[in-house]
Structure 1
């Protein structure tokens, strides 16, 4: 079933992550991808320029950062502002919608950082049992 383009004529249903064609899956993919979640949580701190984001997020290529920012901007989470200077200055920040999401993501990423030792111990234990 195609999703309606206008809410004036058709009431939009609540998303269903388990339905094959539901757009919630692509939204979830964008925000929980390795780079998407890091960008979202980092932008919760402050506004950044592209090069600052690339520096702060170790291991991300410029191509992946640009792609991630574009997807998050399309979904309404990230605001891209271009300032008319020579050369043009571009800054990225969270929209109010993005801030709402980032607070949830911060809880999740904080939990992961706090529990990574337990996860790594479980992995090691599992590997020893498999060997």
Structure 2
């Protein structure tokens, strides 16, 4: 590739792709509270869903964040007690396979660890993992 090609492309105006397949996205957050960051997650879910994607929030059942997310968008519960929570690892891995998740977004240490290990265990069929914060 000629280095000048990249320079030429940088001067071209940005255009949206003509067609993009809808994505299945899972956003994990093991927080137990509910504040600005969690509000952002719900807003992201609503925005991506409005654009034709499926954006699911994965949170700890019984927490304020889980209850608020569940009342506003598709939400699934994972206990995420620690980064060695084998039940969450198994449940998350099964969810990634069953729901054909394309993108896994993680936020905190525990959900990032569980998310990465679960996704990596799927080999070449793993989703793209994005660490958000």
Judge same fold: TM > 0.5, yes or no.
Answer: no
Write 1 or 2 for the structure with the bigger share of helix: 1
TM-score by length of 1: 0.27
TM-score by length of 2: 0.27
